[in-house]
Amino acid sequence: MQVRTPSFKRWFGDCEAAAELNVLIGLSLEEAREKLKALSGRFLVNLATGMKAQINTVQRNKIVSASAFRKSKNNGFTANEHSMAASMIDKLWKHAEQVSDAQDKNGDVNIKSIKRFVSPLLFTGRDVPVYA
């Protein structure tokens, strides 16, 4: 029996992704910065679309900024959960599903579209997955 086929995953869920996205709490902000630094310049591939992404220094700093932490807190996440999600950005992108595709709200002609993706995270101590 094949358990990695798309139809199996749609019916029963993706056990490989679930295992990869199961988060153990206990990562510091500095550890998250180091993990993001190690990802800089590498191509990250999304399994659902084949799209490639890269993280640069500006994006890395934005992810671990005070503003990003405030947004996460306002959305019900702890600082530690934010650090964990930031450190797993490669896995989140890998397993993310596209949920929207819209024009730039400012009408910038240099931006073809804004695509939004979500990925489940299973934080230790939470009963249900959250989506980043």
| pLDDT over 70 percentage in the chain | 77
Q: Per-residue confidence at 16, pLDDT binned at 50, 70, 90?
A: low
**91-120 pLDDT per residue, tens:** 889 989 999 999 999 989 999 999 999 888
Q: At what angle do helices 79-87 and 66-74 cross, to 10 degrees?
A: 110
Residues 6 or more apart whose Cβ sits within 8 Å of residue 90: 39, 42, 44
Range 43-69 average pLDDT:
91
| pTM of this structure | 0.72
**Among 6-10, 30-34, 100-104, where is mean pLDDT lowest?**
6-10
The full set of domain ranges for the chain reads 24-123
| Average pLDDT of the chain to the nearest whole number | 80
CA distance 45 to 19: 18
Residue carrying the six token digits 């590498």 = 42
